[in-house]
Structure 1
Amino acid sequence: MAASSKGIGKMIALLLALCAGLLAWMKFGLDPEFQRLSGAGSFLDVRLSGYDAESVVAMATALSDPARAEARDLLRFMYLGPDLVLPLAVTLALSLLMRGFAPGAVLYGRRLEMRHVRLLCLLPLAYGLVDYTENVGFLIYFPPATPGDWLARNLPDILPWITRVKLILVSVSSILVVRLAFFGKGASKR
């Protein structure tokens, strides 16, 4: 059993290192190049201050310029490359961390059982699904894609909300992991 938990610990460490490496590559490697090539700023989901429907439309307008082919290629590479792997790595890391820290922990005065852990793991899973939904939305909205009329009208309003939901889910999952790791075992059952 101890060898199994050591293996899971190593897997979690590798997943967290992969997440950090991908985030660093995307933020400090790909994003500055995209800003230079697109002339429309950062990748939308990298903007820490968020973005709105006007930003989505402005990005699509900038990328529709025939001279911005390299920016379009970089955008597609980003969402079909590192941002294809990142949600899976984050989801797995958070789920494994919850599974490791939650059983027997006390949360809101109740000792958590394995059935509770399975429910808690739905949070990182939901994050992963929402992140992939966001990526698909970007890929079908931005050139060279040509979305249908309904998508062209509605995706600029939908995408900022998808990003907000994604950030809420990953934040709540991360806070919950920290809460379980540092304060879960110390409390007693009421």
Structure 2
Amino acid sequence: MNAGSRIPLWIIALLAAICLGVLAWTTFGFVVPFKHETGQAVLDVYFAGYDGLTVGRMQRLLGENEIANSLLQAMYAGPELIFPALLTALLLLVLMKLRAGGSYFARPISPALIKLIYVLPFVYGLADYGENIASLIAFGGSAWADPAAELLPWMTRLKFASLAICLIIIARFAIVQAMHRGDGER
């Protein structure tokens, strides 16, 4: 019996609902008020990435606007403290439920590649936490603010790249699994 087959679907659905709840808390409790207060979005939502100049502008903005700075600090102490772990767990459970494996272009997927697939959610989680820590340091005015500001765009890119790869892999295995179920019913 495969480990993925023992994961009840209701657990995945519950975890997805909790993730959506925390995402709504982040969005409506912090991201929207931050945009209303400053006219700018928090850097965490820049899907296409950003550069050092954007980080510098945000540092100046947060230095001048105490409300925006408080919102950002509260976001990292609240929902952003748990969301990366929740989404990492959700991605991993979905991958386990889909039982990554099988073949690719009529060749079996190597066990090393399957292990790499299961590591991807952790790459996302570590990159998201790294981005949060770099943000706290870069916008906190410490002596490490400049190195953290340089690291911040790279952590965001790694976070979104690993998340995108996870979602593509999940879609691929879901489609393959649905196709095999369709073949088995005929």
TM over 0.5: yes
List aligned pairs for 1:116-155, cutoff 5 A: 117-142=114-139, 145-148=140-143, 151-155=144-148
2:34 aligns to what?
34
Write the distance in 2 (CA, Å) between the matches of 1:169 and 1:59: 25
Write the distance in 1 (CA, Å) between the matches of 2:91 and 2:100: 14
2:78 aligns to what?
81
Contact 1:95 1:121 in 2 (8 A): yes
Q: Which amino acid aligns with 2:137?
A: I
User: Following TM superposition, by how much is the alpha carbon of 1:6 offset from its aligned partner in structure 2, in angstroms?
Assistant: 7.1
Q: Which amino acid aligns with 2:153?
A: P
1:174 aligns to what?
167
Cα root mean square deviation, aligned: 2.6
TM-score normalized with structure 1 length:
0.81
2:61 aligns to what?
62
Contact 2:12 2:90 in 1 (8 A): yes
List aligned pairs for 1:37-52, cutoff 5 A: 37=37, 39=38, 41-52=40-51
Aligned residues: 179
| 5+ residue gaps, structure 1 | none
- CA change 1:110–1:155 in 2 (3 A) is same
| 5+ residue gaps, structure 2 | none
Q: Which amino acid aligns with 2:161?
A: I
Report the secondary structure of 1:136's partner residue: helix
Q: Which amino acid aligns with 2:79?
A: P
Write the distance in 1 (CA, Å) between the matches of 2:87 and 2:105: 25
